[in-house]
């Protein structure tokens, strides 16, 4: 998954290749197709895993002090750290959402809804 995220993040969705992903992962391209069947299914798996990591990072902010300013500052740092860990995939998905909004909607779905609920809480 890390190799896929790096390839998609560095090259974008259209320019990324399964061959490039396999080379980064140190495996055979056929192995990728056995597990994922297609580049788009591999992309969907990478987006899903990245989304789950992002949501988990934002959900685990620790104890809140009860002081709004401090808690929002803490939450913003956690959110920013999570975005930085997923920076390449985030950039690729933002770029794709403008060109192919249906694909972005299918892949991202409602990823941010849990984050928005946790901020509200």
Q: What pLDDT shows up at residue 27?
A: 93
pTM: 0.73
Element (H, E) at 47: helix 39-59
Going from the C-alpha of 57 to that of each of 14, 17, 78, 101, the distances in angstroms are: 28, 29, 7, 26
pLDDT in tens, 6-55: 898 888 888 999 999 999 999 999 998 999 999 989 988 888 887 777 77
First to last CA, the chain: 32
* Domain architecture of the chain: domains with CATH: 2-120 (1.10.357.10)
Tokens matching residue 71: 């808690």
pLDDT value of position 29:
92
4: left (phi over 0), alpha (psi -120 to 50) or beta: alpha
pLDDT in tens, 52-101: 777 777 666 566 778 888 888 887 887 788 778 777 877 787 777 778 77
């Amino acid at each position: 998954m890390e190799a896929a995220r790096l390839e998609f993040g560095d090259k974008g969705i259209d320019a990324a290749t399964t061959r490039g992903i396999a080379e980064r992962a140190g495996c055979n391209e056929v192995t990728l197709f056995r597990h994922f069947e297609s580049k788009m299914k591999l992309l969907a798996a990478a987006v899903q895993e990245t989304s789950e990591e992002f949501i988990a990072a934002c959900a685990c902010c620790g104890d809140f002090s009860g002081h709004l300013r401090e808690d929002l500052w803490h939450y913003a740092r956690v959110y920013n750290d999570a975005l930085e860990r997923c920076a390449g995939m985030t950039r690729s998905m933002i770029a794709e959402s403008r060109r192919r909004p249906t694909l972005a909607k299918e892949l991202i779905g409602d990823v941010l809804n849990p984050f928005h609920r946790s901020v509200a809480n």
